Amino acid sequence: MASSEYRLGTRHPLPATRSQKPREFSKSHDFVLSGHQWQLTAGNWSLTMGGMTRWHLGTMGFGYKEWVGSFYPAGMPPRSFLAHYSQFFDAVEIDSTFYGVPGAEQVKRWTAVTPPDFTFCIKTPRHITHELRLVNALEPMSDFLKVISLLGEKLRVVLIQLPPDLDHGYFNLLRHFLMALPTDFRYAVEFRHRSWNTPGTAVLLRDYHVAWTMADYIHMPKQIKRTTDFLYLRFIGPHGQFATKDKELVDKTAVLQTWYDHLQPELDKVEDVYGFFNNDYAGFSPQTCNRFKKIVGIGGEDIRPLQQGRLF
């Protein structure tokens, strides 16, 4: 993001989408008939009849010590996790920010150790969404945005997850909050109460160019709601349902295929698709993410246990 000053309450023209050059096509680039669209996939790009769609698929968080030996080489120090992660995935959803605003130096290091085309999506602190519940929250939101803006163009989406007891009765509160947000950033809102599932909610998000986060999560409806020029998906399981985080315990292939089939009609209408997996979804999010990448057709090699590696 270019600007270093973020004054909430002031609306600015929606920034132009960052221009990106598609990655080179791999040796395998056959046209595949998908539904009623011809689709060409390569790298993290999907070429449909309507144009190019960029896919940004990764995991929710990267700093899991349980991944050492299964994803990170044995003996790798935590400070090297993100650089290693970015060799396999081009996007990550940072959920540690839910528990507090990161320090400026930490944010600078995130961007320093990742490739130029790496993508960050950042979760809004719970102090803003769950404790203040969006009331008198503009100043802390401004402080948060100022810090994460240090990611520069690697910052793509700010996720605003509402608490499960914040229902549709707070519609006007959400409207005023979104109205005050600077458009130097792109936002996605995740609802955790089913009462938000109304046409009026979609209109509200469209008015402010905000994505309706689609979540595969227990009681929430599994549906596609396109409200802006990108889609945002989260694949979440019941918290703590698996004792380990180093191997897949559930095969979600059929479910993920269904999600992809339902996404197909929307792909020529959006520029980017963001999708992130947590460990509670199937047991080991890197492997599940790669499973989805295979379905999409943008790679996704199997993850094999790693032995002692060369430390960074």
Is 107:148 a contact under the CB 8 Å cutoff? yes
Mean pLDDT of the chain: 86
DSSP letter, residue 40: E
Confidence (pLDDT) at 306: 58
> In angstroms, what CA-CA distances link 42 with 11, 215, 296, 300?
37, 26, 10, 12
How far apart are alpha carbons 272 and 121 in whole angstroms? 13
Q: Which of 193, 212, 194, 195 is nearest to 203 (CA)?
A: 212
Confidence (pLDDT) at 30: 29
- pLDDT for 51 beyond 60: no
Range in 43-52, 83-92, 172-181, 287-296 the model is least confident about: 43-52
Residue 216, Cβ neighbours under 10 Å: how many? 19
Prediction pTM value: 0.85
- pLDDT for 250 beyond 50: yes
How far apart are alpha carbons 197 and 199 in whole angstroms? 7
Q: Where are the domains of the chain?
A: 44-296
Q: What is the mean pLDDT of the segment spanning 104-126?
A: 98
CATH number of the structural domain 44-296: 3.20.20.410
- pLDDT for 26 beyond 50: no
Q: What is the mean pLDDT of the segment spanning 206-210?
A: 98
